[in-house]
Structures are given as C-alpha cells and as structure tokens.
Amino acid sequence: MKNKKYDPKKIEPKWQRYWEGERLFEVTEDTRKEKYYLLEMFPYPSGKIHMGHVRNYVIGDVMARFKMMQGYNVLHPMGWDAFGMPAENAAIENRSHPAKWTYENIDYMRSQLKKMGLSYDWTREFATCDPEYYRWEQWLFIQMYKKGLAYKDSSTVNFCPSCQTVLANEQVEGGGCWRCETTVEQKELEQWFFQITKYAEDLLKACDELTGWPERVITMQKNWIGKSIGAEIDFPLEEGKRVITVFTTRQDTVFGATFMSLAAEHPLALELSRGKEQEKEVKEFVERVKKEDKIKRTSEDYAKEGVFTGSHCLNPLTGAKMPIYVANFVLMEYGTGAVMAVPAHDQRDLDFARKYGLEVIVVVQPPEGPLDFQTMTEAYLGEGVMVNSGQFNDLSSTEFREKIVEYLEEKELGRSAINYRLRDWGISRQRYWGAPIPVIYCDECGTQTVPEDALPVVLPAELELTGKGGSPLASSPDFVKAECPNCGRPGRRETDTMDTFVESSWYFDRYACPDYHQGMLDRKRVDYWMPVDQYIGGIEHAILHLLYSRFFTRVLQELSLIDFAEPFTRLLTQGMVCKETNECEEHGLLFPREVKEGKCILCGKQAIVGRIEKMSKSKKNVVDPDEQIERYGVDTIRLFILSDCPPDKELEWRDEGIEGSFRFLGRIWRMVHDNLESIANITPYRGTSSLEGESLKLHRLTHKTIKQVTEDIDRRFHFNTAIARIRELVNYIYQFNLPETSREATESGKAVLREAIEAVIVLLSPYVPHITEELWEVLGHKPSIVQLPWPGYYKDAIQEEEIPIMLQVNGKLRSKITVGADCSEQEIKEAALANNRIQEYTRGKEIKRVILVPGKLVNIVV
RNA sequence: GCGAGGGUGGCGGAAUUGGUAGACGCGCUGGAUUUAGGAUCCAGUGGGCAACCGUGGGGGUUCGAUUCCCCCUCCUCGCACCA
C-alpha cells in the first residue's frame, strides 16, 4: 500500500475545479425543496482579503454545506460593495480611475476567495458600482421621492474648508480633517434625506420579533432608535404672544423649572437678545459654539457653559419668571432644541444653576426625607412625593407624571409626546465614486426626478479627480448639463452621490434575481428566496447597515415590490480575529515575520510580547491569509478558525494552533490510508448483525458523535465542540487498531470500522471540504460528499446497556458504580449503599435521605 | 454614568434542563520508533506528600451550585450632555 503524504497543494485545486466544473453550487428556484438562504456580509473591495473576511466566509461556508447536505436548496451568493472613498482616494493618488482600481481589486479578491473552496453560486456575483445595479437604486430613489420618503433639507454637517467637502463624523479626527488636518467647521448644507424616522416605531417594535438575532444587537438597535415618552410643554415668552416649546420626560417636575436653556442653533437664541445689552455676548457665544465640531461638543471634558439672553419666559403653571439662557450642552437635533431646566432634579441643570446663581426649587421629595435646595449639589433623579407643586402636592411623582399631561392638554399648555433619538438618514455625499442621485433642477419647474426611461444616470467615465473643491461631478459640465424633464429647458443635474450604505441596504434582494432587467426585483424569485435565513457578519455593522436594511425592506414592502418586513431571520455576529503584538525596544512594533524565536530579526534583541489585540495594520499583528494557505493549505486554516472557539467569540491567532490543525488533518489522512487494506471492499456496518466488545463500543461512539455533531452545528453553531467530538472518534478509531484489539478484525469489526471512518469523513466535510472529498474518493466512492445526505444516527445504537452512576455522600463525590440500564431505582440504591467506599463514609451515621437522579447519580445524606 | 456580555488549569476553551468540573486542543513530561533530527504512535498532565482544596471575592437557596439569588471586584464591548 502506497502511503501517500497529505499534500493539500495537490488536492485543493483539484476539488475546487471539480465543484466548479460540476456547477454544484449553482441553484435555481425549486419548489419541491425547502430553500435556505445563507448570506455573509459582502466585502468592500479594498485590495486583499484579510483574516476577518476569511473567518466570516468560512463560518458561512460550513453552514451552507451543512444545509445542502440536510437537503435544503441553498442560496449562497457573493458580490462586492464596490462604491466608496478608498477607491476615490487611490485614484487621486495614482491619477487613475476609481473603476480601474475597484475592478482590479475585485479580480484579485475573487481569486483569493476561490482558493478557499467556498460554496458560492458565482453566477449571481455583481458589484454595486455596476450601472445595471445602481440604476435600480436610482429608480427606487424616484419612487421614494414620489412618496415623500426622500426629501431635501438643510442640516448641519462637518465641513472641511480646504477639501471643500462634507465629512462623516468618523472622518473627523481630533477636530481636524482626517486627510489635511484643517479644522473642521459646522456648516448648513442642503442635503438629501431618507425618512427613516417614519418607521422608528415599527423598527423598534419589530425588534422583539427578531428572535434569531443576538440580544446585544437588538439592544444596540433599540438604543439607537432611542424612544422617550414624555410631553411637550409650551412656555410663553414674557413679551409678545409666542411660546417656547420644550420636550421633557419629566413633566412631573414642571413646577421646579426655574430657567430655560436653548441650543445655540435655536431660532430664538439670537432673536431674544436683539437690542439688549447681552446681544453682543450672546452672538459671540452662539458663533463659537456653532463652530465647534460635534466630537468636541460631545466629549466628556466639554465644560457646560451658557449666556443669558436678556429675555424671560413664564412657567405656564406657576407663572414664575424664568430667565432664558443659551447653553452649549443643549442639542438642536434632539427634541425641540429647548430644555426646561429643573435644577433640583437634573444634574446638568443643577451644575448650571450653581454656576450662574439661579434658583433651585425642589418638587419631588425623596422617601428618605426633604432635600435642602440651598446646599444640594446632587440632583435628585428618583421618584417621590410632589411638593411645591400647587394643588398637586402629595401625589406620587409617577402618578403625577400621567396626570399633568391630561391637565396640560386640557388647558392647552402642552401635550403628550414621544421623541426618538433616531434621525433621518442624510444620504448626500460630495463624492464621485457613488451612485448619482437621479434629480434635475430647473429654474422654472424646480426639483425634477430623472424620467425612469432615462435611467441609469451613469457616472462620467472621463473625469479628473483632484481631491479639492466640492462635488467632483460638479466639475463635469457634460454631466451637469441636463434638460428639464418637465419643460425641456436647460436644467442642471444633482451632483451629489448617495451614501454607500444605500447599496448595501438591498443587495441581498438582488442576489435572488441579479440578471433581471425588467425591474428592480423579480417578485417571483425574491418571494422564493427571501428573507435571508442566516446572515453572518461583523458586529461593527450592528446598527447602521442592519437598521438601514430593515428600513429599506419596509420601504420595498410598502411599494409592493416584496412582501416581508424583516430581511434577516437569523443573525450571527462573528468575533474579531486577534493576535498578540510584538515590539522591539529599538525598532518599535514588529510584524510576525520580523520576530524569530522571540527575537527581533533586525537587531536580535528580545521582542516584547504585548497584549492580544484585534489584527490591524497599525498594530502590525496581521497574518496574511495567502501566506498561510500557501504554507498549510486552506483546509488547515478553515479547521483552525472553526475549532479554536465558538464563532461569536474573538479568535486568537496562534501559530501552534495552526500546526495542531495541520497535524490533525495528517492524522485523518493516515487513518484512512492505514486502514484502507482491511476495509477496502467492506460495506459499512448498517446495524444488521449483532455486535459485542470493541466493535459495539466503536459503533456506539460513531452514532453518538453523529448526534452531538449535528446538534452542535444546528442548534448553537458550536463548531469547536463538534470538531472536538470528531477528534474523540478519531482517537478511538486509532485505539481500535491497537494490536491487542486486532482480534476484532472480523467482518463485522471491519464493517464497524468502515462505518466509523466514513462518519468522520462525512462529518468533517463541511469544515475541510477538500481533504474529505479526496479521502472519500480514496475509499472508493464517487464524488461529491456535499451531495450526500447528512448522516442520521440510530437511536438504538446510542443506547448504553451499562450506565456509570456517581455516588455522593452529602453532595461530595465518593465513589462510582456501573449498573445495567434496566436496573430498577431500588436496585441502584441498594447497590449504592452496599458500596465499600460509601460504607466507610456512612458507617455509624444515620442515613437521612437517599436521592437518586436516574442515569446519573445517587446522593446519600447522613 | 447607562446598557450588554464576561472572569474556569501554564494557554485557547468544554460542561445543553442545578447532578462526574476541566471534554477537545495547545504546551509540557515520559516512553516507543528512527542512523540523527523532524514526523509519527502510546501514556501522563488543576493544586497538594496526604487528608483535602479548587470555576474572580464574600454571602445565600439546595441533598447537591461553574450553573439560581444578593453584595463586591475586575475586564471587554456598545451608547452617552438625549432633556
């Protein structure tokens, strides 16, 4: 027998070619089969696949292959989230075109994915920068515009005066532009918005139905939507008839409101000081606060400051005069941009009141006793009994909170109100590499959408990107020039492009019908495949991408394009890939390859091993997937990723772990080849003849393993424990071949051995598909394993006839016995009490109780 | 500050409903094999000489707690002037 060595380089390309040639992963709608849509978050084509991607796709691939074997019609597509800033920046740097950079990256990354043996239906692949994709996004924009779900409004944005562009919050670093470090300004700008707030309540409510999502993602979504139930209260100005409306969740404390705080952006902020001695001071303050970027304004050490406007308003319940301040901590974006300040019961208001010497009135008295309004430095936030609140004194604050709303409504001083933290989604970007917003402005007819038959509005191919000066599209006269669709006179095109989150909000629908040209979605096919049964991706998308996708799905449903509200039934958020960092005193952080035997290869000094951190280029603790695959083959990488820990936990990349996985594959390789001779023409045991001794044990373990592996994958995604169980079976198979048990080499023994070996191969196949296909062939079968049904187990086979029973005295383990499975409770108890060790512990003591847990233990209480 | 999750050998991690704590792997130790190294195969491996002690610390419920309850502590993640 030729004992060929395990050589992944030979077998992996072979099977990848086979799967592709046989088109095993290409699927169509098949109503006879139950569908299963498995999706991993598609990547941005940044250049190379990194370990985080590898982990994501490997987890998905195991699930996909497992579900295929379970008989589902599995849709498992892949594509590219291809619009975005890096392409544009690379183009500016290299004086090339973003499309060139993007498609080159896609080609390279696709080849990387293909080397990983992933079960994708590549016929469905698309890139979102393809006009055939974004034309439907533009079409949808038009439908949304018609329904009022897309609208234009002005809003405050981070703006870099040097780059002449809007920056997202995360692109502002320490108050400066991430690219040129110029101080970022706040600027009012006309922007396109999607009205996601219309769905705030529905998105929030439906969270509770997302039972297949991780709890923390649900919590994050709920917090992001941020529902507050409270009231709006109108505070009349001292002069004139106008009112300042505030939103509050503590309307019960309205009698304690002693001053008013306005946001700097509040329309009344400047107006109220006009002509007053405070005018100049207020103006300066407002200008200063407005200029400060959001990051600084929301930072922890931001000092709470304010200025008096010189005007007053009246407390609508007490009639008391309340000075109106402009305060830097009041946000225009939340509520009404005005806050009734109740210093006794709000810490910020108390700090503010103490700083500027304002009145403090206690209106909620804690159960512990009265508060001293003159000396208190900590606001009382809890519940209690109402005081200083006129006819409402002595009510509980919780009760009063409801009553006061009725009262306010009756007197027309206020109303119940609900506020959400969620804001409408600003989608305008002053960028080239994005989907153009399909709008034309006409001096006569105003804002017009592009006619549907004129879609897509394609990005101009010839355009020099300079990185300076506003929307790049605005510098292309050919692009801007457009005829008004309504009157035919010259108009100009919208030059902003859409946020790239728009593309990723519906790509999963498009995978169902990527070749459909008559419309955005082919209803029939989408109905068959959607929703996604299992979505897998990084926790970093817990809020934005997932929330936007849920929003879009509702919009599509409202437009009758689809008939479901939630796109992702089950969600798995995989953990990060981490590795220790290495540092040299002289050369700083080191890449893994710069460390040999714990020493820096540049100077030979001992490298300092740092914390285990998320793999990142800046920490230099990155491992290149290509190098690893080259060295060990992809099956080893897949096995390591899956066997080290559960998928939702962070994975620590360890070279020793990789070695261990590689060794294990060598072990199963030998397991097959070393036994090949004896099991070559044997039919696997099928439970027909009776078994005893080692054969029975092996048969039993085989079926126990099948049961546990199936449950670990299906119920909990615990691939690591599933693999551990398979390893146990492999260890047992090795035991089975020991010389002293070779008398078992009877026909039934061989049949059981073959059954066990085949079970190992089949159970491992979703994890390490190449080596298992190869060994399956070595065993004399025709490919492919992925077309086999997932193995079932015999209930009878896992039934033990002898059960170990633990014996405890007072809850402490003292002995163990083995009893027959058919033993009665009484017999077990008697056997336990008769046990020598137990007698030592019970001698001379009164036995108070004997507790029996069937099949597990006996506990004797003395 | 608020919310969520977590703390188990030298290390990564098991223990599904309260019932054998430490599966499986890494590392380490010993043995076999080998000209040698590597690879491979086998065995051992929580601490303690023992009685015993052990799941971050303290208390509780229970015949019995890694698991349930209370208090404390530390770590990770998310959110955060949200009125």
Average pLDDT of A413-417? 93
Least confident of A199-203, A216-220, A306-310, A487-491: A216-220
pLDDT of residue A795: 81
Average pLDDT of A71-92? 93
What's the CA A561/C1' B43 distance, rounded, in angstroms?
66
What's the CA A571/C1' B75 distance, rounded, in angstroms?
26
Using the predicted structure, report yes or no on whether residue A169 has a pLDDT greater than 70. Answer: no
A855 touches strand B (CB under 7 A): no
What's the CA A584/C1' B27 distance, rounded, in angstroms?
25
User: pTM here?
Assistant: 0.91
pLDDT of residue A811: 84
pLDDT band at A2 (very low <50, low <70, confident <90, very high): very low
Using the predicted structure, report yes or no on whether residue A573 has a pLDDT greater than 70. Answer: yes
A610 touches strand B (CB under 7 A): no
What's the CA A724/C1' B14 distance, rounded, in angstroms?
9
> CB–CB of A791/A763 below 8 Å?
yes
A856 touches strand B (CB under 7 A): yes
pLDDT above 90 as % of chain A: 57
Q: In strand B, which positions have an atom below 7 A from any protein CB?
A: 3-5, 12-16, 19-21, 23-27, 39-43, 53, 63-65, 77-83
**Tokens for A337?**
């941009």
Higher pLDDT, A326 or A614: A326
pLDDT of residue A363: 94
Radius of gyration of chain A (CA): 35
pLDDT of residue A252: 94
What's the CA A750/C1' B29 distance, rounded, in angstroms?
36
Average pLDDT of A554-583? 91
**Tokens for A374?**
């003159």
What's the CA A841/C1' B66 distance, rounded, in angstroms?
27
Cα–Cα distance between A601 and A198 in angstroms, integer?
A: 59
Cα–Cα distance between A392 and A386 in angstroms, integer?
A: 7
> CB–CB of A261/A343 below 8 Å?
no
Which residue in the block uniquely carries the two structure tokens 């017009």? A448
What's the CA A841/C1' B20 distance, rounded, in angstroms?
18
A654 touches strand B (CB under 7 A): yes
A247 touches strand B (CB under 7 A): yes
Using the predicted structure, report yes or no on whether residue A164 has a pLDDT greater than 80. Answer: no
Quote the DSSP letter at residue A137: H
Cα–Cα distance between A744 and A679 in angstroms, integer?
A: 13
Q: Which nucleotide is nearest to A728 (CA to C1')?
A: B24
A644 touches strand B (CB under 7 A): yes
- For chain A residues 701-740, those near strand B by a CB cutoff of 7 A are 708, 711, 715, 718, 720-721, 723-724, 727-728, 731, 734-735, 738
A660 touches strand B (CB under 7 A): yes
What's the CA A671/C1' B83 distance, rounded, in angstroms?
69
DSSP string, A455-481: ---PPPS-----S-SS-GGGG-HHHHE
Cα–Cα distance between A748 and A754 in angstroms, integer?
A: 10
| Residue with smallest Cα–C1' gap to B23 | A724
pLDDT above 70 as % of chain A: 95
ipTM of the complex, rounded to two decimals: 0.93
A656 touches strand B (CB under 7 A): yes
Q: Which nucleotide is nearest to A811 (CA to C1')?
A: B64
What would the pLDDT profile of A348-400 be if each residue is shown by its tens digit?
A: 899 999 999 999 999 999 888 888 999 888 888 888 899 999 999 999 998 99
